[in-house]
């Protein structure tokens, strides 16, 4: 039972004296969570306009989404790009993190700085720059171009996640394997990689969501026919507020929840592994 | 080391042979180091091609005209009122959003760090879910909440609090609200980490030494949490400067951010010279703040620890 006069901090402040803080934080949490949940009930409205709460419930806007070849094409495009970009950025990022964890000196610092650049440069500049280079190399409006750009944007997440994992890893284990006759790649694959599994998975999750949600670069370099889901949503939101977007948003929130739960699971496993 | 090595008579090695071996080892080490670095090559080449090369190109475009002569015309153009007002709006917005994030984020992170493990984990989901939800989806939700016929206006109207719908979106206010929502987790997460690592015994000690709760908080907790707060502030401010998506959707064309000016200069006017000068300036300011503030705060934080 919560007692208001019970002291809760090392400085003997009681629950009662902190009620204002609890109220304030409750408001802040509401501010954070309401925009993530409000569209869910609205997406099940039967009306032509967005209503809250809906007067009549239906799956009308989900049918509109599933029945539209444009929305479907955009969805598959997004998944395809995100999957390939995740695989590429995870492989490249893991290799780089592994090398940079052992390499020392100015060159390694320089390479690391360059690989982290996509996270620091404002996204609009990435978009403009990519557009400029692609228009000279014929990669605009191509799925390859979009995949390459998303791979670059996602790589820092993998680099950070795997780099963190490698910090707690004793490289001598690999040395031991090599002294027993394993080649370096074999030692990496059989000794190091299994222990980095969780870090790599969390990096890959970040990479996937980074590509899946990416709008600004897609706005610049993707043409009308091969739109991605976020790009189509952006255009839709700007031009008209169509409840189909609410249905798509709800599905995307569902995906975020799934990925968040997966991430928490990985963290838990990591904690168990360490402790 | 020499004293420890095995005498040559026992190994049957000559001095020259030993030197040769040392050279071989050094060569092997160098080879291994380079083969290790070559693992970064795929990522390195990709970033070079997709990002570094275009950025260098933008720098070049901003400084040289079509005939290849050095010119500062593109940068002089930035002093025009239309660009200056855009810089002003961008900094105003970044400032307001950062202040709001601190005012909301500090109490939130503080309470989360103080609650029992289980409770803080559950409440943390309220911070993490927005963090993992697409910015686009959240911006859309704010549009739905704030627009003229939106949930907030309709609610207030039906309760009789107001008789005219308030204009909550397509202006500075709506943009700021949407941006605070996006940025808040970026401030709270590092701050929470920092606060979690503050030893509660230090506060007990302060209380023992006669500090009032407010004094103990101000002189011990606040100071120890400051490095986490300043790194959060830096991150939020810098991210705000280059923000595109939320201002583009919630600003209703009235809030002209730096990033939107860049995009408009290209898509509406096709003026690559002006756009690249804007871009290079944004890049320089971003990196200047990122490293400048880090250095400034880093020194302060180090002094107080």
Q: What is the pLDDT of residue A35?
A: 92
Q: What is the pLDDT of residue B44?
A: 95
Give CA–CA dist A178/A182, Å, rounded.
4
| List of chain B residues whose C-beta atoms are within 8 Å of the C-beta of residue A132 | 54, 57-58, 272
Q: What is the pLDDT of residues A76-115, one digit of tens each?
A: 999 999 999 999 999 999 999 999 998 877 888 999 999 9
Cβ of A253 within 8 Å of Cβ of B137? The answer is yes
Cβ of A125 within 8 Å of Cβ of B283? The answer is yes
Cβ of B125 within 8 Å of Cβ of A260? The answer is yes
Give CA–CA dist A192/A174, Å, rounded.
7
Break chain B into its structural domains and give their ranges: 81-304
Over residues B11-16, the mean pLDDT reads 75
Provide the chain A residues 171-230 that lie in CB contact (below 8 A) with chain B: 209, 212-213, 215-216, 220, 230
Q: What is the pLDDT of residues B238-283, one digit of tens each?
A: 999 999 999 999 998 888 899 999 998 888 888 888 899 999 999 9
Instruction: Please determine, for residue A275, whether its predicted confidence score (pLDDT) is greater than 60.
Output: no
Over residues A146-150, the mean pLDDT reads 95
Provide the CATH number for the domain around residue A235. 1.10.3720.10
Give residue A203's pLDDT band: very low, low, confident or very high (50, 70, 90): very high
Cβ of A122 within 8 Å of Cβ of B242? The answer is yes
**Partner residue opposite B242 with nearest CB, options A124, A151, A238:** A124
Q: How many domains does chain A have?
A: 1
Q: Distance between terminal CA atoms of chain A?
A: 32
Cβ of A92 within 8 Å of Cβ of B46? The answer is yes
Cβ atoms within 10 Å of B197's Cβ, excluding its own = 11
Q: How far is B10 from chain A (nearest CA, A)?
A: 24
Give CA–CA dist A221/A233, Å, rounded.
16
Q: What is the pLDDT of residue B298?
A: 64
Over residues B184-199, the mean pLDDT reads 93
Cβ of B107 within 8 Å of Cβ of A25? The answer is yes
Over residues A144-164, the mean pLDDT reads 95
Give residue B305's pLDDT band: very low, low, confident or very high (50, 70, 90): very low
- Does residue A9 lie in a domain region? no
Q: How far is B191 from chain A (nearest CA, A)?
A: 15
In terms of Cα–Cα distance, which of A80, A86, A78 is closest to A215?
A: A78
Give CA–CA dist A77/B203, Å, rounded.
54
| List of chain B residues whose C-beta atoms are within 8 Å of the C-beta of residue A13 | 213
In terms of Cα–Cα distance, which of B183, B178, B152 is closest to B165?
A: B152
Residue A261 touches partner B, C-beta closer than 8 Å: no
Q: In chain A, whose CA is at the least distance from the CA of B109? A: A25
Over residues B228-246, the mean pLDDT reads 92
- Does residue A228 lie in a domain region? yes
Q: How far is A11 from chain B (nearest CA, A)?
A: 5
Cβ of B43 within 8 Å of Cβ of A115? The answer is yes
> Which residue is associated with the tokens 């999750």?
A205
| ipTM of this complex | 0.90
Q: What is the pLDDT of residues A43-74, one digit of tens each?
A: 998 888 777 778 888 898 999 999 999 999 99
Is the distance from CB of A145 to CB of A127 less than 8 angstroms?
A: no
Q: In chain A, whose CA is at the least distance from the CA of B184? A: A32
| List of chain B residues whose C-beta atoms are within 8 Å of the C-beta of residue A209 | 132
| List of chain A residues whose C-beta atoms are within 8 Å of the C-beta of residue B206 | 11
Give residue B136's pLDDT band: very low, low, confident or very high (50, 70, 90): very high
| List of chain A residues whose C-beta atoms are within 8 Å of the C-beta of residue B114 | 8-9
Give residue B303's pLDDT band: very low, low, confident or very high (50, 70, 90): very low
Peptide bond into A53 cis (omega under 30): yes
Q: Enumerate residues 6+ apart whose C-beta is below 8 A from A37.
A: A253
Over residues B211-227, the mean pLDDT reads 89
Q: What is the pLDDT of residue A73?
A: 93
- Does residue A91 lie in a domain region? yes
The pair of structure tokens assigned to B224 is 């120890």
Average model confidence (pLDDT) for chain A? 89
Range of the domain at A192: 69-239
Is the distance from CB of A206 to CB of A158 less than 8 angstroms?
A: yes
Q: Enumerate residues 6+ apart whose C-beta is below 8 A from B280.
A: B58, B59, B62
Cβ of B128 within 8 Å of Cβ of A260? The answer is yes
- Give percent above pLDDT 70 in chain A: 96
Burial status of residue A61 (CB atoms within 10 A of its CB: 0-12, 13-18, 19 or more): buried
Q: In chain A, whose CA is at the least distance from the CA of B240? A: A122
Q: What is the pLDDT of residue B239?
A: 93
Q: What is the pLDDT of residues B67-125, one digit of tens each?
A: 778 888 889 888 888 899 999 999 999 999 999 999 999 999 999 998 998 999 899 99
What residues form DSSP beta bridges with B64?
Answer: B70
Average model confidence (pLDDT) for chain B? 88
Q: What is the pLDDT of residue A262?
A: 94
**What global pTM score does this model have?**
0.89
Instruction: Please determine, for residue B225, whether its predicted confidence score (pLDDT) is greater than 60.
Output: yes
In terms of Cα–Cα distance, which of B271, B79, B112 is closest to B195?
A: B112
Q: In chain A, whose CA is at the least distance from the CA of B213? A: A11
Instruction: Please determine, for residue B175, whether its predicted confidence score (pLDDT) is greater than 50.
Output: yes
The pair of structure tokens assigned to A56 is 């009549």
Cβ pairs A/B, distance under 8 A: 245
Give SS3 for A225: coil
Q: In chain B, whose CA is at the least distance from the CA of A185? A: B36
Classify domain B81-304 by CATH number: 1.10.3720.10
Q: What is the pLDDT of residue B33?
A: 84
Q: How far is B16 from chain A (nearest CA, A)?
A: 27
């Amino acid at each position: 039972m919560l007692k208001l006069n019970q002291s809760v901090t090392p400085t003997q402040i009681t629950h009662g004296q902190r009620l204002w803080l609890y109220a304030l934080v409750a408001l802040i949490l509401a501010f954070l969570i309401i925009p993530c949940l409000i569209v869910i009930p609205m997406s099940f409205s039967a009306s032509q306009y967005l209503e809250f709460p809906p007067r009549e419930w239906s799956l009308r806007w989900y049918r509109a989404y599933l029945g539209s070849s444009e929305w479907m094409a955009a969805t598959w495009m997004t998944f395809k790009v995100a999957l390939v970009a995740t695989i590429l950025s995870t492989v490249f990022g893991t290799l780089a993190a592994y090398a940079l964890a052992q390499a020392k000196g100015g060159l390694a610092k320089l390479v690391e700085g360059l690989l982290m650049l996509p996270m620091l440069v404002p996204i609009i500049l990435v978009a403009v720059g990519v557009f400029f280079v692609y228009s000279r190399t014929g990669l605009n409006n191509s799925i390859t171009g979009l995949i390459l750009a998303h791979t670059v944007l996602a790589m820092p997440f993998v680099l950070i996640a795997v780099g963190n994992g490698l910090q707690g890893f004793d490289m001598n284990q690999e040395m031991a394997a090599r002294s027993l006759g394993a080649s370096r790649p074999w030692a990496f694959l059989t000794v190091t990689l299994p222990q980095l599994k969780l870090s790599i998975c969390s990096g890959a999750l970040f990479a996937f969501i980074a590509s899946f949600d990416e709008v600004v670069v897609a706005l610049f370099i993707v043409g009308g026919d091969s739109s991605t889901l976020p790009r189509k949503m952006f255009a839709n939101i700007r031009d008209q507020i169509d409840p189909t977007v609410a249905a798509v948003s709800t599905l995307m929130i569902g995906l975020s929840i799934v990925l968040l739960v997966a991430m928490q699971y990985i963290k838990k496993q990591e904690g168990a592994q360490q402790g | 080391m020499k004293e420890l090595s095995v005498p040559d008579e026992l190994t049957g090695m000559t001095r020259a042979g030993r030197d040769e071996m040392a050279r071989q080892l050094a060569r092997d080490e160098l080879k291994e180091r380079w083969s290790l670095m070559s693992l970064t090559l795929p990522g390195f080449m990709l970033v070079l091609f997709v990002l570094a090369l275009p950025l260098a190109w933008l720098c070049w475009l901003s400084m040289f005209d079509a005939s290849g002569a050095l010119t500062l015309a593109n940068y002089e153009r930035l002093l025009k009122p239309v660009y200056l007002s855009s810089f002003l709006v961008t900094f105003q917005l970044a400032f307001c959003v950062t202040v709001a994030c601190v005012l909301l984020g500090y109490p939130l992170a503080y309470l989360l760090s103080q609650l029992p493990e289980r409770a803080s984990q559950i409440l943390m989901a309220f911070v993490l879910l927005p963090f993992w939800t697409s910015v686009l989806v959240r911006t859309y939700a704010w549009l739905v909440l704030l627009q003229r016929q939106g949930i907030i206006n309709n609610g207030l109207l039906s309760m009789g609090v107001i008789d005219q719908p308030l204009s909550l979106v397509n202006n500075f206010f709506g943009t700021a609200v949407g941006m605070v929502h996006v940025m808040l987790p970026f401030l709270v997460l590092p701050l929470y980490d920092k606060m979690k690592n503050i030893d509660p015994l230090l506060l007990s000690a302060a209380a023992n030494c006669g500090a009032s709760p407010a004094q103990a908080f101000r002189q011990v907790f606040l100071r120890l949490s400051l490095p986490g707060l300043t790194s959060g502030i830096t991150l939020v401010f810098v991210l705000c400067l280059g923000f595109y998506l939320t201002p583009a959707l919630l600003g209703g064309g009235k809030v002209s951010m730096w990033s939107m000016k860049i995009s408009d200069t290209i898509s509406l006017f096709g003026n690559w010279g002006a756009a690249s000068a804007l871009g290079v300036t944004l890049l320089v300011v971003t990196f200047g703040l990122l490293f400048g503030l880090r250095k400034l705060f880093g020194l302060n934080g180090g002094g107080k620890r």
